[in-house]
């Protein structure tokens, strides 16, 4: 076991490497994240990085995990809103706010292939906790009897995730085609999700779902 000061110094090096890596991804994108660039920014030789991380993938994974913890922190703050409906608005804003403020990290976690499969597919605690915050709002609505009969809170949480991810990711890649702001897009989408867009049909609710599930 290394002595306390040595262990601390080693952790410092690790943290410095990750800090610079995060900055490179933020400023130049994920594909600019090379061992040489990280090393130069952190004041090391490229070879020295391999004393602290097994390889480039390990650095990318650490970045993604850190990003997921940031997302969890942002969502946790929003989840403090008591009323579940208002909370969903706050959660949606926090989610797309994270994607907008750190788009390359959002890409890395949710739009790159390989990361979500390995980090989330394993047992990423932060990711599971983040999703639980979304699910909790729908569970609260369910317990309060505010959901229509037959609505499944867990399935609705997935729909909510799809909605905020769709907003965040389309805004990142197709912003030229998506002129409304994230706020306007989310306001329209959440209103539709909660209250519906169709006039009530006296002969029973419309169900494209039936035809989809056939």
Nearest to 25 by CA among 73, 81, 64, 80: 64
Question: How far is residue 112's CA from residue 115's CA, in Å, rounded to a whole number?
Answer: 6
Q: Which does 135 bind (CB under 5 to 8 A by kind): DNA, a copy of itself, none?
A: none
What is the closest distance, in whole angstroms, from the C-beta atom of residue 80 to a copy of itself in the complex?
A: 14
Alpha carbon 208 to chain centroid, angstroms: 29
Question: How far is residue 214's CA from residue 198's CA, in Å, rounded to a whole number?
Answer: 22
Per-position b or e across 55-76, b if 16+ CB within 10 A of its CB: eeeebbbbbbbbbbbbbbebbe
Contact in structure between 100 and 49 (CB atoms under 8 Å): no
What is the closest distance, in whole angstroms, from the C-beta atom of residue 130 to DNA in the complex?
A: 28
Structure tokens at 165: 């991810």
Interface residues with DNA (CB under 7 A) are: 2, 6, 9-10, 13, 32-37, 39, 43-48, 50-52, 55-57
Q: Which does 206 bind (CB under 5 to 8 A by kind): a copy of itself, DNA, none?
A: a copy of itself
- Between the alpha carbon of residue 43 and those of residues 7, 47, 202, the distances in Å are 19, 12, 70
Task: Rank residues 46 and 144 by Cβ distance to DNA and give the closer one.
Answer: 46
Q: Which does 19 bind (CB under 5 to 8 A by kind): DNA, a copy of itself, none?
A: none
Task: Rank residues 6 and 100 by Cβ distance to DNA and give the closer one.
Answer: 6
What is the closest distance, in whole angstroms, from the C-beta atom of residue 52 to DNA in the complex?
A: 7
Q: Which does 85 bind (CB under 5 to 8 A by kind): DNA, a copy of itself, none?
A: a copy of itself
Q: Which does 197 bind (CB under 5 to 8 A by kind): DNA, a copy of itself, none?
A: a copy of itself
Task: Using CA atoms of 53, 59, 65, 68 in order, give the dihedral in degrees to the nearest 10.
Answer: 160
Q: Which does 55 bind (CB under 5 to 8 A by kind): a copy of itself, DNA, none?
A: DNA
What is the closest distance, in whole angstroms, from the C-beta atom of residue 109 to a copy of itself in the complex?
A: 9
Task: Rank residues 26 and 93 by Cβ distance to a copy of itself and give the closer one.
Answer: 93
What is the closest distance, in whole angstroms, from the C-beta atom of residue 26 to DNA in the complex?
A: 17
Question: How far is residue 25's CA from residue 108's CA, in Å, rounded to a whole number?
Answer: 9
What is the closest distance, in whole angstroms, from the C-beta atom of residue 11 to DNA in the complex?
A: 9
CB atoms within 10 A of CB 118: 12
Task: Rank residues 6 and 146 by Cβ distance to DNA and give the closer one.
Answer: 6
């Amino acid at each position: 076991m290394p002595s306390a000061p040595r262990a601390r110094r080693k952790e410092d090096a690790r943290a410095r490497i990750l800090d610079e890596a995060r900055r490179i991804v933020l400023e130049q994108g994920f594909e600019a994240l090379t061992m040489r660039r990280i090393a130069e920014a952190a004041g090391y030789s490229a070879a020295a990085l391999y004393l602290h991380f097994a390889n480039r993938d390990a650095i990318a994974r650490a970045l993604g995990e850190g990003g997921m913890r940031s997302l969890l922190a942002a969502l946790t703050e929003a989840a403090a809103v008591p009323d579940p409906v208002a909370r969903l608005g706050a959660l949606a804003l926090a989610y797309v706010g994270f994607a907008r403020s750190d788009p390359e990290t959002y890409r890395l976690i949710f739009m790159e292939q390989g990361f979500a499969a390995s980090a989330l597919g394993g047992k990423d605690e932060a990711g599971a906790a983040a999703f639980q915050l979304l699910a909790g709002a729908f569970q609260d609505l369910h317990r309060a009897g505010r959901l229509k009969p037959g609505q499944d809170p867990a399935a609705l949480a997935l729909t909510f995730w799809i909605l905020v991810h769709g907003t965040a990711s389309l805004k990142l890649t197709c912003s030229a085609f998506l002129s409304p702001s994230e706020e306007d897009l989310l306001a329209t989408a959440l209103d539709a999700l909660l209250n519906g867009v169709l006039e009530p049909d006296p002969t029973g609710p419309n169900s494209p779902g039936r035809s989809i599930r056939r």
